[in-house]
């Protein structure tokens, strides 16, 4: 699957903010791009779609 470069860039920025403990922002995007975004985020966090490694985005988003 070929991902949109802009979507990948947004996802990497999101992951970097999470890792730095900064507020993370999800930009507005077409729903069709959401799977690409989340796949890139999961891969950037070292998560697998088949396994829950206990990491959560909620603390970095201020929702914990």
What's the mean pLDDT in 25-37?
A: 90
What's the mean pLDDT in 23-40?
A: 90
Beta-carbon count within 10 A of 37 CB: 19
pTM: 0.67
The CA-CA-CA angle for residues 49, 63, 56, to 5°, reads 25
Q: What are phi and psi of 51, to 5 degrees?
A: -135, 140
- Paired tokens of 51: 């396994």
- pLDDT at residue 12 tops 90: yes
Please state the separation of Cα 5 from the chain's center in Å: 14
Name the band, by pLDDT with cuts 50, 70 and 90, for residue 46. confident
Name the band, by pLDDT with cuts 50, 70 and 90, for residue 63. low
Please name the residue ranges forming H helices in 1-64: 5-20, 34-44
pLDDT at 3: 85
């Amino acid at each position: 699957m070929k991902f949109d470069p802009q979507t990948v860039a947004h996802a990497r920025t999101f992951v970097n903010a999470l890792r730095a403990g900064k507020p993370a922002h999800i930009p507005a995007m077409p729903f069709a791009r959401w799977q690409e975004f989340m796949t890139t985020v999961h891969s950037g966090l070292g998560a697998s779609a088949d396994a829950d490694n206990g990491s959560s985005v909620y603390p970095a988003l201020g929702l914990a």
